[in-house]
Chain A
Amino acid sequence: MTHLILQGFAASLTPLNIGLMALGVVIGIVFASLPGLTGAAAMTMLLPLSYGMPAVSAVLLLIAIWNAAVWAGAVPAVVMNIPGTSAAAATLLDGHPLAMQGHAQRAIRTSIIGAFVGSIAAAIALLFVAPLIGNVVIYLGPAEIFAFASFGLTLVVSITRGTLAKSIISVLIGLFIGTVGFAPSGFPRFAFTPNLLSGISLIPALIGLFTFPELINLIRNRRPRIVQVEPSRERDLFLFRAQDWSRHWFNFVRSAVIGVFMGIHPGAGPTISSFITYNEARRVNKSDPPFGEGNIDGVIASDTGANAAVLSGLIPAFTLGIPGSVDTVIIIAALTLHGLQPGPTLFMQHAPFVYTIFAGAFVANILMLVIGLFAARWTAKLALVPTRFLLPIVTVVALVGAFAVNNNWFDVLTALLAGLLGYGLRSMGISTVPLLLGLILGPILETNLYQALQVYGSLWSAIFTRPIALAFLLLSVASLVHALITRRHHKAGSDVV
């Protein structure tokens, strides 16, 4: 394994990869800072362009965007009280009060260092935990994969915002869209035009679902009133001194560990992780000022936790082919675009590729730290870019990008229709995250169920004679029941994804 890791570092440190990762970090920072846009939108827009790159470079570019975007949302949160991403909402709680007290520079530096620590912890987990899981999952059969996919879906459904029924509706729409095209038996279904024979193209659908609802929201919503805090000119050496680390190291470590676990957990992701780590820090921290009034430990906990959940989200995606979030769906889409199948066979057939990605994650983190520390001062200003410029640029790039995937005009139409569907669902209070996971997990679910039935003869013997499959199906039922009970308690439903 050591030689694979060293080989991975050597392969990831080419000028092309370093250049693309640096570009990815800048794009991630820009998109997270632009109001209404997210790192996922940037990733989907660039996905078609990544087709022209080597697979390693394409995936590293997307990882760099994702990682940087999750952190960069903290900058407008601190300086302007506008979280650039949902994960930055926890940073805002103490980051903005710190900025109001004249410590914007301290809050931003702490946020980027926290993000760096979290990301490095996740990259270490990726490097050492993922291969272990990868070695185990090759022994799993279709019944187990079917059960894993079901568990992934129910977990996502159970923690998505809105009522449970709405989350299930979203996942069912995704599962249905996944049935368009050839069935596992080879029979064409719902292929009303020849363009649909190979199914709905995932990438144009992703572009539509993520870009258009955000653009329409930009048109409809008035901009929040922005209160910008100018960073003070005083020298602030926080975290440049050993004594700061001796006081706060445990918060960094605890938040990183929790974040890594939250990232591996399908459906949790950076937003939930940042709130959990923030709450945990608040629970144990009794120092002044209180949390919510500018306690630096709040910024450390939320940003470390958020970024620790980014790269660790790749563990179930790479080992099982099961994405836990929209961003991992996009990474999986990039892999399939380059002819690589995430899941048990990825580690066996493409080990050098996998280790290059894992090693590249470290390099992407270092680039994020360097560029983030350098660019933080200007990043907050991006939130002031007017909608009239954003709208044409993002619309055109998204649609031309959708065309570029297969050089097919039908894909452009798919992107627009997916966008309208996404906006309609969001307007009804239905999250599109379960839909996306249904869309990508649907074919895995059905194909493995079909294969399990072929091998074992009946659903009963396929599931009930395989203890791991049975355990995960029971866990799926348990997660749904738990979600139902907790939502009855909090009638409004949790608002987490």
Chain B
Amino acid sequence: MTRLGEKVGYAAMILAAAVLIYVSRSYALQDGAYPHIVLTLLAILAAVGLYQSFRASRQDQEREEAATQPEPERGAMWPVVIYIGLTMLFILSWNWIGTLPAVFIFSAILVVLNGERRIWMIIALPVVLTAVLYVVFQSILYLPLPRGFFLR
């Protein structure tokens, strides 16, 4: 992660701790003391982390100026963003179109986005995955998966 991301992470922790302490200010001592201690310590350590991150940024800058070799390459972030976005849509779609149709569509999209071009494989994997989930959850475990608006 970049130093900026690290700083954002620590700042988010401080903010979250402050908000949660504020939210719980009305709790009785026996209920509020323990989470207050935990959150206060978290905010303090996150502040220390934030300070160290700023200090490390300066050192990074100096090191970059002196460096002769480039940093090792890591994959781009956008496939991760697409993956998280698709997973979010997948979860939300359970209540609209039902879990099993959502599984079929989601897995087909992921297979294609990850570079599979053989049509039979693009169809076979989602079909097998959906069938296995149907058999395991509906037929063996009798767990009703969400069926969506259309099949209600």
The answer to whether B115 and A388 have CB atoms under 8 Å apart is yes
The answer to whether A168 and B144 have CB atoms under 8 Å apart is no
Q: In this assembly, does A424 line the interface, its C-beta being within 8 Å of a C-beta of chain B?
A: yes
29 A-B residue pairs with CB within 8 Å: A165-B45, A168-B41, A168-B45, A169-B13, A169-B42, A173-B13, A175-B38, A179-B38, A187-B28, A187-B31, A190-B24, A219-B75, A220-B80, A221-B74, A391-B114, A392-B125, A395-B87, A396-B106, A397-B133, A403-B146, A407-B143, A409-B94, A412-B91, A413-B91, A416-B87, A427-B1, A427-B9, A428-B9, A449-B34
Inter-chain CA distance A261–B86, complex, in Å, is 45
Q: In this assembly, does A140 line the interface, its C-beta being within 8 Å of a C-beta of chain B?
A: no
The answer to whether B41 and A219 have CB atoms under 8 Å apart is no
A393: chain B residues at CB < 8 Å are 107, 125, 129
The answer to whether A428 and B1 have CB atoms under 8 Å apart is yes
B110: chain A residues at CB < 8 Å are 388, 391-392, 395
Residue on B with the closest CB to A404?
B143
Q: In this assembly, does A290 line the interface, its C-beta being within 8 Å of a C-beta of chain B?
A: no
Q: In this assembly, does B66 line the interface, its C-beta being within 8 Å of a C-beta of chain A?
A: no
B134 to chain A, nearest CB (A): 10
A424: chain B residues at CB < 8 Å are 9
Inter-chain CA distance A49–B136, complex, in Å, is 9
A176: chain B residues at CB < 8 Å are 20, 35, 38-39, 42
- Quick one: given A169-B13, A395-B110, are A216 and B83 in contact (CB under 8 Å)? yes
Complex interface bits, B38-61 against A, C-beta within 8 A gives 1, otherwise 0: 110110011011001000000000
* Chain A interface SS verdict (over half): helix
Given contacts A220-B75, A220-B80, 14 further A-B contacts (CB under 8 A): A169-B45, A169-B46, A169-B49, A176-B20, A183-B31, A190-B24, A221-B75, A386-B114, A387-B114, A392-B111, A403-B99, A407-B144, A428-B6, A446-B34
Per the 8 Å Cβ criterion, residues 387-439 of A in contact with B are 387-389, 391-393, 395-397, 399-400, 403-404, 407, 409, 412-413, 416, 420, 424-425, 427-429
A52: chain B residues at CB < 8 Å are 140-141
The CB with the most chain B CB atoms within 10 A, among A49, A173, A400, A450, is that of A400
A132 to chain B, nearest CB (A): 33
Residue on B with the closest CB to A176?
B38
A425 to chain B, nearest CB (A): 8
Residue on B with the closest CB to A427?
B1
The answer to whether B143 and A172 have CB atoms under 8 Å apart is no
Residue on B with the closest CB to A216?
B80
The answer to whether A222 and B75 have CB atoms under 8 Å apart is yes
Complex interface bits, B92-134 against A, C-beta within 8 A gives 1, otherwise 0: 0011000100010011001100111000000001100100010
Q: In this assembly, does B67 line the interface, its C-beta being within 8 Å of a C-beta of chain A?
A: no
| Residue ranges of B at the interface with A (Cβ–Cβ < 8 Å) | 1, 5-6, 9-10, 13, 20, 23-24, 27-28, 30-32, 34-35, 38-39, 41-42, 45-46, 48-49, 52, 73-77, 79-80, 83-84, 87-88, 90-91, 94-95, 99, 103, 106-107, 110-111, 114-116, 125-126, 129, 133, 136-137, 140-141, 143-146
- Quick one: given A176-B20, A219-B79, are A388 and B34 in contact (CB under 8 Å)? no
A480 to chain B, nearest CB (A): 13
- Quick one: given A49-B141, A176-B35, A409-B146, are A189 and B1 in contact (CB under 8 Å)? no
Inter-chain CA distance A425–B8, complex, in Å, is 11
B114: chain A residues at CB < 8 Å are 386-388, 391
The answer to whether A185 and B35 have CB atoms under 8 Å apart is no
B136: chain A residues at CB < 8 Å are 49
The 7 closest A-B pairs by CB, nearest first: A388-B114, A392-B107, A427-B1, A220-B75, A392-B110, A172-B42, A183-B31
A172: chain B residues at CB < 8 Å are 38-39, 41-42, 45
A420: chain B residues at CB < 8 Å are 84
A165: chain B residues at CB < 8 Å are 45, 48-49, 52
Inter-chain CA distance A220–B48, complex, in Å, is 29
B38: chain A residues at CB < 8 Å are 172, 175-176, 179
Q: In this assembly, does A381 line the interface, its C-beta being within 8 Å of a C-beta of chain B?
A: no
Which among A51, A168, A221, A396 is the interface contact of B107 at CB below 8 angstroms?
Answer: A396
A372 to chain B, nearest CB (A): 26
The answer to whether B129 and A396 have CB atoms under 8 Å apart is yes
Inter-chain CA distance A450–B34, complex, in Å, is 10
Residue on A with the closest CB to B46?
A169
Q: In this assembly, does A166 line the interface, its C-beta being within 8 Å of a C-beta of chain B?
A: yes
The answer to whether B31 and A189 have CB atoms under 8 Å apart is yes
B77: chain A residues at CB < 8 Å are 220
Inter-chain CA distance A183–B31, complex, in Å, is 6
Inter-chain CA distance A409–B145, complex, in Å, is 9
The CB with the most chain A CB atoms within 10 A, among B45, B46, B94, B145, is that of B45
A400: chain B residues at CB < 8 Å are 99, 103, 133, 137, 145
B116: chain A residues at CB < 8 Å are 388-389
A215 to chain B, nearest CB (A): 8
Complex interface bits, A171-215 against B, C-beta within 8 A gives 1, otherwise 0: 011011001000101010110000000000000000000000001
The answer to whether A392 and B129 have CB atoms under 8 Å apart is yes
